[in-house]
Amino acid sequence: MMIGIERTSICVPEQVVTAGELAEKTGIPERVIIEKFGLREKRIASEDVHASDLAMAAGKEILSGVDPDTIDVVIYFGSPFKDYQVWTASSKIQYELGIPNAYAFEMMNVSSCFPLAVKVAKDMLKSDEEIRNILLVGGCKESMIVDYDNPRSRFMFPFADGGAAALLSRDASQSEVLSSSILTDGSFTKDVLVPGGGSVHPHPEKHERYIDVPDPKGMKERLDPVSLGNFEKVIKQSLVKSGVGLEELNVLLPLHTKRSMFEQIIESVGLEESQAVYLEQYGHMSALDPCYGLHLAEKEGKLHPGDIVVLVSAGTGYTWAATTLRWHGGN
Strand, coil or helix: 289: helix
DSSP state of 204: -
Position 39 scores a pLDDT of 98
| Half-sphere CA count of 224, side-chain side, radius 13 A | 8
Same fold, 4-173 and 177-327: yes
**Can you tell me the mean pLDDT for 123-151?**
97
DSSP letter for each residue of 32-94: HHHHTS--SEEEE--TT--HHHHHHHHHHHHHTTS-GGG--EEEE-S-S--SSSS--HHHHHH
pLDDT-based confidence at residue 330 (cuts at 50, 70, 90): low
CB 311, CB 295: distance < 8 Å: no
DSSP state of 158: T
146-to-151, 181, 311, 312 alpha-carbon distances in Å: 11, 30, 26, 24
pLDDT-based confidence at residue 15 (cuts at 50, 70, 90): very high
Position 206 scores a pLDDT of 87
Backbone phi, psi, residue 117, to 5° = -65, -40
Backbone phi, psi, residue 258, to 5° = -60, 150
Domain 177-327 has CATH 1.10.287.70: no
Is the pLDDT score of 166 beyond 80? Answer: yes
d(CA 236, CA 324): 10
Task: Return contacts of 240-245, CB within 8 angstroms, 24+ apart.
Answer: 241/178, 241/179, 241/180, 241/181, 241/324, 242/178, 242/179, 242/308, 242/324, 242/326, 243/178, 244/178, 244/308, 244/324
d(CA 121, CA 180): 12
**Can you tell me the mean pLDDT for 174-181?**
98
Which residues are CB-neighbours of 217 under 8 A, at least 6 positions away?
Answer: none
Is the pLDDT score of 303 beyond 90? Answer: yes
Alpha helices in the chain, H assignment, sequence order: 19-26, 30-35, 51-63, 89-96, 113-127, 216-241, 259-268, 289-299
Position 1 scores a pLDDT of 84
279 alpha carbon, distance to own chain's centre:
11
258-282 per-position pLDDT tens digit = 999 999 999 999 999 999 999 999 9
Is the pLDDT score of 331 beyond 80? Answer: no
- 0.85 exceeded by the pTM? yes
CATH number for 4-173: choose from 3.90.1300.10, 1.20.1560.10, 3.40.47.10, 2.60.40.10: 3.40.47.10
Alpha helices in 64-193, H assignment, sequence order: 89-96, 113-127
| Domain ranges across the chain | 4-173, 177-327
Kind of pairing, strands 15-18 and 41-44? Answer: antiparallel
Amino acid residing at 86: V
For residue 7, count CB atoms less than 10 angstroms from its CB and return exposed for 0-12, middle for 13-18, buried for 19 or more: buried
